Amino acid sequence: MDDMYREQILEHSKHPHNFGTLEEPSVSREEFNPLCGDRVRMDLQITDGVITDVRFSGRGCAISQASASLLTDELRGMKVEDAKVYRKEDLLELIGIPLAKNPVRLKCALLSLKALKAGLYGVGHIHDDDEEE
């Protein structure tokens, strides 16, 4: 457990980066975790195929908030094409805590990525299986 609440996670969850919403986002998407009722919304500003600004909002556990905070840092300046194929492994590596054997917390960690992908692909529903394995 103490593994899970490293300084970085606590820091990002207490003081998340890019928290809030955008006035007129190019893409805005909220995803919901039916297991615990948490939600994360991602707002993206896209200019010429590049993510120029990004915010997230919502509520959730330290893992989901820290993960969203870390992801938004990554996304700023990223090409949309790259963001579309951003791998969950990369996000998990950023988070840096062992979640592979913890399917419940994995869902928390990947909620922001799910919102990003669903927003960028404009699909109605990204099936949960995409995040499990």
Residues that bind other proteins (CB under 8 A): 1-2, 4-5, 10, 14, 35-39, 59-64, 104-105, 108
SS3 72: helix
Closer residue to other proteins (CB): 45 or 102: 102
Q: Which regions of the chain does DSSP assign to beta strands (E)?
A: 27-33, 38-47, 50-59
Closest C-alpha to 17, from 57, 60, 63, 61:
57
d(CA 118, CA 99): 22
Beta strands 27-33 and 38-47 are antiparallel
Q: How far is the CB of 108 from other proteins (least distance, A)?
A: 6
Q: Which residue has the tokens 């993960």?
A: 67
Q: How far is the CB of 129 from other proteins (least distance, A)?
A: 20
Residue 126, both tokens: 């990204």
Using the minimum distance from each CB to other proteins, give the nearer residue, 59 or 79: 59
Looking at beta carbons only, is 108 or 118 nearer to other proteins?
108
Nearest approach, Cβ of 117 to other proteins (angstroms)? Answer: 22
Least Å distance between CB 95 and other proteins? 14
Q: Which is nearer to other proteins, 104 or 123 (CB)?
A: 104
